[in-house]
Amino acid sequence: MIPEEIIQYLKSNATFVSGQKLSQHLKISRAAVWKYVHELRESGYRIEAVPHRGYRLKFVPDKLLPWEIRAGLATRVLGHEVFCYDTLPSTMDEAFRLAEGNQCREGALVCAESQTRGRGRMGRTWFSPKGKGIYASLVLKPFLAPSEVSWITFVAAIAVCEGIRQTTGLAAAIKWPNDVLIKRKKVAGILTEMNAEVDRVHFVVVGLGLNVNIDKAHLPPQATSLRMELGGKVSRVLFLQAVLKQMEHWYGCLLERRFTPVLERWKELSVTLGRRIRISEHHKAIEGKAVDLSDDGGLIVLNSDGDLIKKMTGDVEFLD
């Protein structure tokens, strides 16, 4: 892609690059170079242009652009094919459309700067203000049974926690089944949907909603963002790259059917286990102590009668 090549070339040259050099390097006319430079400026890059000297890159915007996500991405598969949009109703729908039409590979990533109908679990909406968060859906084509797909949600939650820890040092933790919290406030959510037959998964779409640079004024009291916790802006590109790298590592364990290390890591990062909780689903709730996670991803709750109850879905509230 020409814009990608222009940015790469300018990044690798700290000083000015002449229009002629760029046009030779890219095998396009100087007028075409100018047109692409103009387009890059429109998307937020500051590119200085000085007669007789050429072009110099002065500022790279924190935008989710395919070449920015790919540059320095330490994965082999995830995020190498990237579809970026300014706005979408939901990245989930676009990822489904691409996967259903066989128009993308395993690991393809669909991101949008904003969503108009971002969706969360249990029919909720996902607040997706422009340029402030990461709204991304990852297409996976794993060789797993439909009943094993909830492992992908666990892997994604682990990857988000580890990505937050590595990028910011903040102590992110997982609330069952798939919320990522910092100091008990939700900073990220994961939505896993699949296209499958009874015994065969065609593809899985993992949606990541990450509150990165959203201000306090725009979030409900029970939510937070990395910016609020850190007191400063976080690079969405670097954060997303870190999450993808961790995701690839843990997803690799699933593909090798090594579920135990995933379960162990999930437990280490969990803030749910050991707590007194209320778990609600369809206006019904049970209370008790969250004691364990089952092999199929259920939460085991010990109630006051001493019964162990396994819950596969529901919303957890902490009681202590």
Residues contributing to the site for ligand BTN (CB under 6 A): 90-92, 115, 118-121, 124, 126, 135-137, 179, 189-191, 207-209
Q: How far is residue 164's CA from residue 211's CA, in Å, rounded to a whole number?
A: 11
User: In terms of CB distance, is 10 or 181 closer to ligand BTN?
Assistant: 181
Q: How far is residue 14's CA from residue 111's CA, in Å, rounded to a whole number?
A: 30
User: In terms of CB distance, is 17 or 110 closer to ligand BTN?
Assistant: 110
User: In terms of CB distance, is 54 or 209 closer to ligand BTN?
Assistant: 209
- CB atoms closer than 10 angstroms to residue 285: 13
- CB atoms closer than 10 angstroms to residue 82: 21
Question: Which residue's Cβ lies closest to ligand BTN?
Answer: 189
User: In terms of CB distance, is 23 or 280 closer to ligand BTN?
Assistant: 280
For 181, counting Cβ atoms within 10 Å of its Cβ (0-12 exposed, 13-18 middle, 19+ buried), the class is buried
Cβ proximity of 92 and 207 under 8 Å = yes
State in angstroms the smallest separation of the CB of 115 from ligand BTN.
6
State in angstroms the smallest separation of the CB of 230 from ligand BTN.
21
State in angstroms the smallest separation of the CB of 191 from ligand BTN.
4
User: In terms of CB distance, is 162 or 179 closer to ligand BTN?
Assistant: 179
Residue 3 phi, psi (nearest 5) = -55, -40
State in angstroms the smallest separation of the CB of 194 from ligand BTN.
14
State in angstroms the smallest separation of the CB of 253 from ligand BTN.
23
Residues 6+ apart with CB under 8 A from 80: 70, 73, 105, 107
